[in-house]
Amino acid sequence: MKCIINRRAEFSASHRYCLSELTEADNYRLFGACSRFPGHGHNYELYVSLEGELDEYGMVENLSTVKKVIKQEVTSQLNYSHLNDVWSEFQDTLPTTENIARIIWQKLAPHLSLVNIKLYEHPQLWADYQGQGMEASLTVKTHFSAAHRLASPKLSLEENTKIYGKCARTHGHGHNYHLEVSVVGEIDSRTGMLVDLGALQKVIDDYVVEPFDHTFLNKDIPYFAEVVPTAENIALHIANLLRSPIQQLGAELDKVKLIESPNNSCEIYCRSRGSQNSNNTVTKELEPAIAI
């Protein structure tokens, strides 16, 4: 039986997004503040995932060996460095989060049985890479606050209460929702980006955060006049709102995760349920889980 294990590591480094063939003004238009000289820094958090059979000692891999390899091949070289200069790979392709994850995979793959590299640039932005050429995923985390009531107008208060409990109370209740949007795309061989991050964040703000924030979902969002705003249905609606504009940015919506509370969250996997992929799955709109 195969098992996946994860090893965490961290490093602090600076980087700059700047293409030598562009003027300072053009670099700023393309990369914004990230193009400023001499660069900026992050406390990176790295998760290395390995897969394998358990050996006679009950291990996939000796963690002491894993720790040594990660330090030798990655963190000792990157820690307190300027990424643009430390590895030759970043001369041709900029050290974006997704591209750093890709190169870390290349450094570790000869030594470890990798299944995923997850790299956090900060808690609201991270990349995953699984050894698939130039393809990677990027996740943006954001939040909004909203109220909702779980109740169908076709049912009585007593009937709704049997289904939804306290969530059916007449005046509703609120949550601080945390939203994670993951997109997949090909890393550009020059910019190191799979999508324009500023444009992606603007799409999420324009289509979700601004319209949803500080609203009563049942009354202020027309869609939820017909659909009960459970966490599942909210996530499905967000996925449908974001799929097309993200596609227009040249990426593909991969997953929407909505965290309603520390005890309640849901995930919508968009590629496997209707978006065009390598298996030629037919594109269709995601359907609500609970309609009225």
* Residues 94 and 194 both lie in one domain: no
**Residues 154 and 72 occupy one common structural domain:** no
* Residues 20 and 74 grouped into a single domain: yes
Cis check for the bond before 123: say yes or no (omega within 30 of 0).
no
Residue 273: its pLDDT value, please? Answer: 43
For residue 184, which of 238, 140, 230 has the smallest C-alpha distance? Answer: 140
> What range does the domain containing 203 cover?
132-292
Residues 116, 154, single domain; the answer is no
The total of structural domains in the chain comes to 2
Residue 83 and residue 199 in one domain? no
Same domain, 118 and 227: no
Do 113 and 191 lie in one domain? The reply is no
Domain final residue pick, 115, 130, 145: 130
CATH number at residue 124: 3.30.479.10
pLDDT score of 175: 98
10-residue stretch averages of pLDDT, the chain, 292 residues long: 94 97 94 95 98 93 96 98 97 97 98 98 98 98 98 93 96 97 97 96 98 98 94 97 98 98 96 44 46 44
pLDDT of the residue at 278: 37
Query: In this structure, are 138 and 282 located in the same domain?
Result: yes
Q: Where does a domain end: 130, 163, 179?
A: 130
pLDDT of residue 280: 33
- pLDDT on residue 284: 40
86 and 61 part of one domain: yes
Are 86 and 165 in the same domain? Answer: no
Residues noted as catalytic:
167, 214, 260
Same domain, 87 and 21: yes
Q: What pLDDT, on a 0 to 100 scale, did the predictor assign at position 276?
A: 40
**Predicted pLDDT of residue 289:** 53
Domain end call among 76, 102, 130: 130
Q: Is 160 in the same domain as 261?
A: yes
